[in-house]
């Protein structure tokens, strides 16, 4: 199948030097899929993310697609965020939560994220506003090309996606300080805007 016909692939970015004039909160452009799709088949039960009723409130709920996804690390970086314990959140008060899905960039993590996104796109997930998918590096150095390619396919199934680099300091200290990498700084700014509903204009 040609990539151009695959609805899970985001539209290619234009190569017109847009990075040079990127605003402070750029927010990744929305993908082809930005909500549940009619006719999408839900995944097998083993590939679905569970759901859990949660008390309290949060500006953003961070749902890890699998154990070791970095759910807690990401929630610590974003003001007003809470973790869901690797489940889709169902809020006690019946309100519609804003959710960020998180996974690692290895085959296990990406496959788990793909199952969760398929579940969401099929309408089998509880009612929620999925803001996007954050893919965290699973090891130092450059991610192998087959995994990068698979991550592109999986990320195309989310409304937005962010690819975040390895943080060596997290191996040695239980730090909640935001990494200085530009990708993290931009990601945190994006999520703060999206979580409060004050979405700035998107860039491509």
Give per-residue pLDDT as tens, 127-179: 999 999 999 999 999 999 999 999 999 999 999 999 999 998 888 776 666 78
State the DSSP string of 119-172.
HHHTT-SPS-EEEEEEEE-SSSSPPPHHHHHHHHHHHTTSSSEEEE---THHHH
Tell me the fold of 45-195: Rossmann fold (3.40.50)
Q: Which residues lie across from 83 on neighbouring strands?
A: 62
Is 200 or 169 the better-scoring residue by pLDDT?
A: 169
In the chain, domain spans: 45-195
pLDDT value of position 79? 86
pLDDT at 10 over 80: no
For residue range 61-96, what is the model confidence (pLDDT) as tens digits? Answer: 999 999 999 999 999 998 889 999 999 999 999 899
The confidence band for 200, taking pLDDT boundaries of 50, 70 and 90, is very low
Element (H, E) at 112: helix 107-121
- Stretch 98-117: mean pLDDT: 96
Average pLDDT across the chain, whole number? 81
- Phi/psi for 94 (5° steps) reads 80, 0
pTM of the model: 0.78
Distance, in Å, from the CA atom of 118 to the CA atom of 154, rounded to the nearest integer, reads 9
pLDDT at 29 over 60: no
pLDDT at 118 over 60: yes
Is 166 or 42 the better-scoring residue by pLDDT?
A: 166
pLDDT value of position 21? 43
Is 17 or 191 the better-scoring residue by pLDDT?
A: 191
Position of tokens 């300091």?
169
pLDDT value of position 71? 95
């Amino acid at each position: 199948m040609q990539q151009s016909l695959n609805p899970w692939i985001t539209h290619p970015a234009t190569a017109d030097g847009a990075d040079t004039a990127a605003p402070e909160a750029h927010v990744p452009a929305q993908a082809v899929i930005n909500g549940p799709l009619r006719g999408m088949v839900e995944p097998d039960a083993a590939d679905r993310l569970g759901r859990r009723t949660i008390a309290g409130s949060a500006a953003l709920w961070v749902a890890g697609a699998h154990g070791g996804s970095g759910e807690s690390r990401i929630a610590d970086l974003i003001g007003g965020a809470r973790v869901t314990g690797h489940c889709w959140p169902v809020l006690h008060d019946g309100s519609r939560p804003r959710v960020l899905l998180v996974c690692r960039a290895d085959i296990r993590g990406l496959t788990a994220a793909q199952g969760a996104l398929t579940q969401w796109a099929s309408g089998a997930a509880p009612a929620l506003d999925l803001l996007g998918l954050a893919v965290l590096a699973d090891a130092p150095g450059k991610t192998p090309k087959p995994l990068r390619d698979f991550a592109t396919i999986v990320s195309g199934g989310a409304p937005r996606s962010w690819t975040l680099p390895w943080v060596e300091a997290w191996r040695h200290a239980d730090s909640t300080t935001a990494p200085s990498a530009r990708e993290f700084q931009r990601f945190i700014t994006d999520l703060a805007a999206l979580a409060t509903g004050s979405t700035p204009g998107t860039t491509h």
